[in-house]
């Protein structure tokens, strides 16, 4: 019989990864194709926040190099990434009454779910505009998180998922550009948490190669989890639901997501259901 473990810990990220990298891209522009191409090559992931009311509806992928994406390309383009709510028509939500907020969010969600085939649960505020009243409506609607345009917040999970700030905007140079900010975090062996970049793909309209220059330094790190926004929240929810028996002989995972555990310093996986330790 295996000895009883002295300690069972639940690392922050899958596989005991030290850091997580996630990104968020707004508005659903054809330049999103560039982001996806680079990210698929580098092994990074993105969350793409779409306004369903402004998407093209020709039924074919447009060859145009300007303007919105077409509904026909959304599912295939963003496979392996995340599609999230950005409202139907991109209004400043803090200027709307609750009924209009519900319509903008729910109808965007309904339209996007019809395109991608899965529940759409994340969101970004149009104009970065929100207040406590907007948050109350989103909570009622079951939105898991909503990103703001505020930067500098790197801890996870956020105290309020419906006012979730990122680390930095993609073209910001204050206090440093993306690669330098990343290096400062990654080179610190004590650093942990989430490195979260947001932006718009059209900001690279005049310098497409900059996408690869900015993000290549972030890629390929063995101790980094590359994930979408919703994957962060789903994994955290699974972590929080894990039940460790008092005698440390078993771990019960009621979620559908496998969760990494550390048993006296040795990593293993607690899959859905009961896992016997040792």
Burial-class residue 222 by CB neighbours within 10 Å (0-12, 13-18, 19+): exposed
Residue 48 has a CB neighbour count (10 Å cut-off) of 27
Task: Annotate 168-197 with three-state secondary structure.
Answer: EECCCCCCCCHHHHHHHHHCCCCCCEEEEE
Measured CA distances, 9 to 36, 238, 240 (Å): 35, 14, 12
Query: What local confidence, expressed as pLDDT, does residue 1 receive?
Result: 52
What domains lie within the chain, and their CATH numbers? 17-237 (3.20.20.370), 242-276 (no CATH)
Measured CA distances, 80 to 21, 32, 112, 117 (Å): 15, 14, 15, 13
Positions of the chain with pLDDT under 50: none
Q: How far apart are CA 141 and CA 135, in angstroms?
A: 10
Q: How far apart are CA 136 and CA 150, in angstroms?
A: 19
Query: What local confidence, expressed as pLDDT, does residue 272 receive?
Result: 97
DSSP secondary structure of 104-155: HHHHHHHHHHHHHSS---EEE-GGG---HHHHHHHHHHT--EEEEEEE----
Q: How far apart are CA 40 and CA 6, in angstroms?
A: 41
Q: How far apart are CA 54 and CA 65, in angstroms?
A: 16
Query: What local confidence, expressed as pLDDT, does residue 58 receive?
Result: 86
pLDDT tens digit string along 65-115?
Answer: 789 999 999 999 999 999 999 999 999 999 999 999 999 999 999 999 999
pTM of the model: 0.95
The answer to whether residues 224 and 17 touch, using CB atoms and an 8 Å cutoff, is: yes
Query: What local confidence, expressed as pLDDT, does residue 278 receive?
Result: 72
DSSP secondary structure of 58-102: SSS----SSSBPBGGGHHHHTTTSEEEE--SS---GGGS-HHHHH
pLDDT tens digit string along 186-213?
Answer: 999 998 899 999 999 999 999 999 999 9
Query: What local confidence, expressed as pLDDT, does residue 62 receive?
Result: 63
């Amino acid at each position: 019989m295996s000895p009883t473990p002295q300690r069972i810990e639940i690392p922050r990220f899958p596989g005991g990864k030290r850091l997580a990298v996630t990104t968020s891209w707004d508005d659903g522009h054809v330049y999103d194709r560039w982001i996806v191409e680079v990210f698929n090559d580098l092994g990074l992931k993105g969350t793409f926040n779409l306004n369903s009311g402004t998407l093209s509806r020709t039924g074919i992928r447009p060859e145009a190099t300007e303007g919105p994406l077409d509904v026909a390309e959304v599912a295939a383009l963003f496979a392996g990434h995340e599609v999230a709510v950005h409202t139907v028509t991109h209004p400043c939500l803090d200027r709307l009454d609750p009924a209009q907020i519900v319509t903008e969010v729910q109808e965007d969600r309904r339209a996007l779910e019809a395109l991608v085939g899965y529940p759409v649960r994340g969101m970004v505020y149009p104009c970065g505009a929100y207040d406590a009243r907007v948050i109350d409506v989103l909570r009622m609607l079951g939105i898991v998180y909503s990103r703001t345009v505020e930067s500098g917040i790197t801890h996870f999970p956020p105290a309020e998922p419906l006012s979730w700030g990122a680390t930095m905007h993609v073209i910001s140079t204050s206090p440093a550009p993306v690669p330098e900010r990343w290096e400062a975090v990654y080179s610190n062996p004590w650093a942990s948490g989430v490195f979260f970049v947001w932006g718009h793909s059209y900001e690279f309209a005049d310098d497409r190669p900059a996408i690869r220059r900015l993000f290549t330094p972030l890629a390929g790190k063995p101790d980094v989890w590359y994930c979408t926004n919703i994957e962060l929240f789903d994994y955290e929810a699974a972590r929080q639901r894990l039940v460790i028996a008092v005698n440390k002989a078993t771990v019960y995972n009621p979620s559908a997501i496998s969760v990494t555990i550390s048993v006296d310093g040795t990593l293993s996986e607690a899959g859905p259901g009961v896992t016997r330790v040792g």
